[in-house]
Structure 1
Amino acid sequence: MGCDGGTIPKRHELVKGPKKVEKVDKDAELVALWNYCALSQEILRRPIVACELGRLYNKDAVIEFLLDKSSEKALAKAASHIKNIKHVTELRLSDNPAWEGDKGNTKGDKHDDLQRARFICPVVGLEMNGRHRFCFLRCCGCVFSERALKEIRAEVCHTCGAAFQEDDIIVLNGSKEDVDTLRSRMQERRMRKRVGKKTKKPKAAESVSPPAASEEPAGPSGMNTGKPEASSLDSREKKVGPAPRSTANGSSSGKAGKPPCGATKRSIAHSEESEAYKSLFTTHSSAKRSKEESAHWVTHTSYCF
C-alpha cells in the first residue's frame, strides 16, 4: 500500500475522476467580442461595420475578405453570410470622453479597467462594454443602448432623425436566441429582394414589346393596294429629283454653280445678309460702275506678221 519512505497515497492520486470543465472567463470573452474584429481578430478601429447578425468587423477586413477570390481562402464562419458590401452597415459610434486607452499605462504599472469602454450610448450614457445590451439601426447605422430605445420610444432615430421600423433594429453581440431571430429576418429580407427582382424583369419586357407591335401595318387597306411603300418612295423621288453626283475632283457633273433641279434662283441682293457680305458679289451696287468710270478702250492681243 505504501511507497518508499513509508508514504501513504491518497484517493485522488490513485483514482482518476472526470476532467473538470474549464470555465471561460466572462470578462475576457466580453473584451474579445466588443474590442476585436470577429473576422481578422484585430483591434476594432474606425470605420467599424456590423453585419445583419450583430457582429462587429473592421471595414477593411470585410473588403479584403470579399475581394479574396482564391480557392485557398480560409473559411470564416463569422463572415460566411456576407456576400457583398451591402450586407454590412457602417456604424455611427459616440466616443466615451472618460476613456484614455493605453495612454496612461505605458509602463504597465497601472490597472486596466475592463469596464471602461471606448464608446457610449449618446442618449442614456451607458458604456458599450458588454454589460448592457446595445443595438444599431440598419437604415442609418446609429448605435444606441436597448434601454434608450425602450425608455424613449419614437419612430425616428434619436440622433439623425431617420425613420425606422422594428425590423431595422439589430442587437449587437446578442445571445443565441437573438442570433436565430436575426438570421430568420435576414433570410426573409433577402428572399423578398429576389422575388422583387424577378417581378421587375417581366414588367420591363412588357413595356418594350408594345412599340414593336405598333410598327406593323394595321388594317386591310395596305394589303389590297399591292406595294404602297414602294409607290410612295417613287413619288417622293420624282418630286425631289436626283441629287448632283460629285466627281473625283470634287466638281459636279453639270455646269459649275448650276442649282439643282426644282430649286428656285435667289439673288444675293434680295437676301437678308449684311451689306458687308453682299459687297463681295458683283451684283452689289458698289461693284457696278458708271460709263464715266468705265474705260473706253479695249486691249487686244498683238500679233507680229
Structure 2
Amino acid sequence: MGCDGGTIPKRHELVKGPKKVEKVDKDAELVAQWNYCTLSQEILRRPIVACELGRLYNKDAVIEFLLDKSAEKALGKAASHIKSIKNVTELKLSDNPAWEGDKGNTKGDKHDDLQRARFICPVVGLEMNGRHRFCFLRCCGCVFSERALKEIKAEVCHTCGAAFQEDDVIMLNGTKEDVDVLKTRMEERRLRAKLEKKTKKPKAAESVSKPDVSEGPSKVKTGKPEEASLDSREKKTNLAPKSTAMNESSSGKAGKPPCGATKRSIADSEESEAYKSLFTTHSSAKRSKEESAHWVTHTSYCF
C-alpha cells in the first residue's frame, strides 16, 4: 500500500522522532505579565494592586476571590498566599504620555506596538513593559525602576518622601530566585506579626486585672484609719473658732446677725427707752380699743 506511482518517501516521513518542545514567545509572555491580571486574566485597570511576591492584580478581582472562597479555580493557586486585603498593596503608577491606547487603531489599519507601555518610571523615565526590572515599596506603594533605586540611593521615597528599608522593596514579576527570596521574607514577616500579637494579649490582660495607681500630688495616703480620723477631727476643731470669730466680726460691721443665729426682740435689748418706743413692740405703742379711734373719726369734718 502506498509508494506506487514512482514516489520515493523520505526518512522523516517514515520514522517519527521526538516531539519538538514548544517555545513560549517571550513577547507574548511579557505582555501577559505586565498588562493582564494574574487572577482574572483581564486587562489591568486602576486600582491595581500587587502582592508580597510581586504579582499584579486588579483590586476588584482580589476582593471577589477573598469573598468567594467556595469556588476552587485553577487560577486561584496564584493567589493562595493572599489571606486578606492587607496582604496586597495598592500601586501608585505614573502614566506614560506617549501611550495612546486603542484610540489610534480604531479602524484596524495600524500596527499595535506591544512594547509601548502604559506606565513609566517617574525618576528615570523607563517604560514598564517587562524589558526593565521594576519594583515597588510596600510601605507607600510607589513604583520605580530598579535602575532608579541603584543610581539615586536614598532611604526615603523619591515621590512621597516616606522612609523605607530593604525589606520594603519588592520586585515586580521577578525571576524564580526573586520569588523565592520574597517568599521567605513574607513567611518571616507573618511569623513576626503572630508573635507580636501573642505578646500583646497577656500585657492587655495584666493591665485589665491590675488597677492603675495614680502618682504625684493626688497619691493615696497609706496608714491606719484611726489616725486619719483623729487628724480630721483636730483640723475641724482648729477651724471652728476661726470661723466663729470671722462671723462675729462680719455681723458687727454689717449690723446683721450671722446665718443660723437666734433672733432677739428689741424689748429685751439694752437700748434706751426712747429708741424702744419707736417700735410697735414697745408698751407705749400698745393701746386699748377705747383709746384707739376708727379711721373715719380721725378727720375734723366728721361730727
Larger Rg computed on CA atoms:
2
Is the 1:134–1:144 contact (alpha carbons within 8 Å) kept by the matching residues of 2?
yes
Equivalent in the alignment of 1:37: 37
Partner of 1:186: 186
Q: Look up the SS of the partner of 1:65 in the other structure.
A: helix
1:291 matched residue in structure 2: none
TM-score by length of 2: 0.69
Deviation at 1:115, TM superposition (A): 1.1
- Spell out, residue by residue over 1:102-123, the C-alpha distance to the aligned partner (whole angstroms, 9 max, x if none): 1111121111111100000000
Q: Which residue of 2 aligns with 1:100?
A: 100
> Which secondary structure does the structure 2 equivalent of 1:197 belong to?
helix
1:200 lines up with 2:204 in the alignment: no
Hey, what does 1:293 align to over in structure 2? none
How far apart, CA to CA, are the structure 2 residues paired with 1:146 and 1:99?
22
Q: How does 1:1-305 map to 2 (within 5 A)?
A: 3-70=3-70, 72-75=71-74, 76-211=76-211
| Partner Cα distance (1:177, 1:46) in 2 | 29
Compute the displacement of 1:2 (Å): 7.0
Counterpart residue identity of residue 62, structure 2: V
Q: Deviations over 1:201-252 (max 9, x none)?
A: 111111122239xxxxxx9x89xxxxxxxxxxxxxxxxxxxxxxxxxxxxxx
Distance across 2 between alignment mates of 1:86 and 1:210? 34
- Unmatched tracts of structure 1, length 5 or more: 213-218, 223-263, 266-295, 297-305
How far did 1:69 drift?
A: 3.5
Q: Once the two structures are aligned, what percentage of the paired residues are identical? A: 86
Instruction: Name the TM-score, length of structure 1 as normaliser.
Output: 0.68
Structure 2 counterpart SS, 1:187 = helix
1:118-162 CA deviation, whole Å, 9 max, x = no partner? 000000000000000000000000000000000000000000000
Distance 1:2 1:187 in 2: 65
Which residue of the partner structure matches residue 233 of structure 2? none
Instruction: Tell me which amino acid in the other structure corresponds to 2:63.
Output: I
Query: Once superposed, what is the RMSD of the aligned Cα atoms?
Result: 2.3
- Tell me which stretches of 4 or more aligned residues in structure 1 moved more than 6 Å: none
Query: 1:91, 1:136 within 8 Å by CA — same for their partners in 2?
Result: yes
Q: Offset at 1:79?
A: 0.5
Aligned residues: 220
| Matched residue SS, 2:210 | helix
SS in structure 1 at match of 2:50: strand
For residues 164-191 of structure 1, what are the alpha-carbon distances to aligned partners after superposition, in whole Å with 9 as ceiling and x for unaligned? 0000000000000000000000000000
Deviation string 1:33-70 (CA, Å, 9 cap, x unpaired) is 00000000000000000000000000000011111143
**Runs of at least 5 residues in structure 2 that lack an aligned partner in the other structure:** 213-221, 226-258, 261-294, 296-303
